[in-house]
């Protein structure tokens, strides 16, 4: 069987058109965000919506819960869909809901989304106090059931403590190195060395605020950054987490940043004169452009085996080790 293509973070405004684009781009598996600030009940309704899509488009998408689901999707010409949270709000203040959500198919959970949470500190807070008591126990419970700790929107201290406290490798599903583009949400060299040195995975983001030169970032620049990261951290720990937010209205980015916690407009990684979603770079407008990335990696000198790893085989190996109960 050929090597899979996996994008380990998308927040697309899903539709039949978007599902067909996944197939046209040869994407075998995706990790989709099903909650930002939702409560338990609200997030359950998002699962219900996905269940309807699985019923409506059985020739295009299939629910994903294990690495075997990726292989099954490849054999049947579909895309496996894995659920994740960008904030721990759906577990509310109940550690028992971690196992419940794993039973409902959630395989990734960020401990924070920019702000302080009950578990850890987000990257936009002035002071990072690290993992809370609840956070440490939540990490242990996530390890036990097979839910991946995701620190994409967390502060450095919280991230380093999560790496240290977790018995299983964690992930930063969608971010880039700060040494390439000094966005607040991108990650320091120390964090990325600790992440990959412990067997964790980094998914490179194509969200324009995370890119050097924003929407004008070139494919060559992006792929040369991945080549430098491979030199620093090892190619086996690298993958794609595009953070594609295709077809989303600007009101959604307000929800992502503000939730219900603020009366003020939080511009996050954007600016007051561009509060909505930025345009994508022209080489990655939607999932049909995924082959551009494969070709770009080849052109900067990666071997075919290394390209296959970055484009999906590394994530598949990580899925294999991460989604089941702790041995």
How do residues 141-198 score in pLDDT, each as one tens digit?
Answer: 999 999 999 999 999 999 999 999 999 999 999 999 999 999 999 999 999 999 999 9
Q: Is 258 exposed, middle or buried (0-12, 13-18, 19+ CB in 10 A)?
A: middle
Which helix (H) or strand (E) covers residue 149, if one does? strand 148-150
Which one, of 131, 137, 133, 198, lies nearest residue 168 by Cα? 198
Three-state SS at 165: helix
Q: State the Cα–Cα distance between residues 171 and 198, nearest whole angstrom.
A: 10
pLDDT at position 251 is 73
pLDDT at position 277 is 82
pLDDT at position 267 is 57
Total length of the chain? 327
**Model pTM score:** 0.95
Tokens 């075919």 -> residue: 304
pLDDT at position 269 is 59
Three-state SS at 202: strand
pLDDT at position 271 is 46
Residue ranges of the chain with pLDDT lower than 70?
255, 266-275
CA distances from 116 to 20, 25, 119, 140 (A): 38, 37, 8, 19
In the predicted model, what is the mean pLDDT of the chain? 95
pLDDT at position 259 is 80
pLDDT at position 272 is 43
pLDDT at position 193 is 98
Count of beta carbons in the 10 Å neighbourhood of residue 52: 9
- Determine the Cα angle at 243 with ends 320 and 229, to 5°: 70
What token pair was written down for 317? 């190996």
Assign domain 6-322 to its CATH architecture.
Alpha-Beta Barrel (3.20)
Region for residue 130 given its phi and psi (left: phi exceeds 0; alpha: psi -120 to 50; beta: otherwise): left
């Amino acid at each position: 069987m050929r090597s899979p293509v996996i994008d380990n973070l998308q927040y697309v405004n899903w539709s039949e058109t978007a599902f067909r684009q996944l197939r046209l781009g040869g994407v075998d598996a995706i990790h989709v965000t099903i909650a930002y600030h939702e409560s338990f009940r609200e997030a359950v309704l998002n699962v219900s919506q996905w269940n309807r899509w699985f019923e409506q488009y059985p020739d295009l998408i299939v629910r994903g819960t294990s690495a075997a689901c990726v292989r099954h999707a490849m054999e049947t010409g579909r895309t496996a869909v894995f659920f994740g949270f960008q904030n721990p709000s759906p577990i509310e203040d109940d550690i028992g809901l971690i196992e419940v959500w794993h039973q409902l198919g959630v395989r990734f959970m960020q401990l924070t989304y920019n702000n302080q949470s009950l578990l850890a500190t987000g990257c936009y807070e002035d002071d990072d106090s690290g993992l809370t008591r609840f956070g440490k126990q939540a990490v242990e419970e996530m390890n036990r059931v097979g839910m991946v700790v995701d620190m994409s929107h967390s502060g450095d201290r919280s991230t380093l403590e999560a790496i240290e406290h977790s018995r299983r490798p964690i992930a930063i599903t969608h971010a880039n190195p700060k040494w390439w583009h000094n966005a607040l949400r991108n990650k320091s060299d120390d964090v990325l060395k600790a992440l990959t040195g412990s067997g964790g995975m980094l998914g490179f983001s194509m969200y324009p605020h995370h890119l050097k030169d924003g929407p004008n970032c070139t494919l060559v620049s992006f792929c040369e950054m991945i080549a430098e990261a491979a030199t620093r951290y090892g190619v086996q720990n690298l993958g794609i987490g595009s953070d594609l937010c295709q077809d989303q209205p600007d009101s959604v980015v307000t929800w992502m940043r503000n939730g219900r916690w603020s009366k003020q407009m939080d511009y996050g990684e954007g600016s007051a004169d561009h509060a909505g979603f930025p345009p994508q770079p022209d080489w990655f407008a939607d999932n049909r452009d995924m082959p551009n990335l494969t070709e770009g990696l080849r052109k900067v000198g990666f071997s075919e085996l290394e390209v296959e790893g970055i484009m999906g085989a590394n994530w598949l190996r990580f899925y294999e080790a991460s989604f089941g109960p702790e041995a």
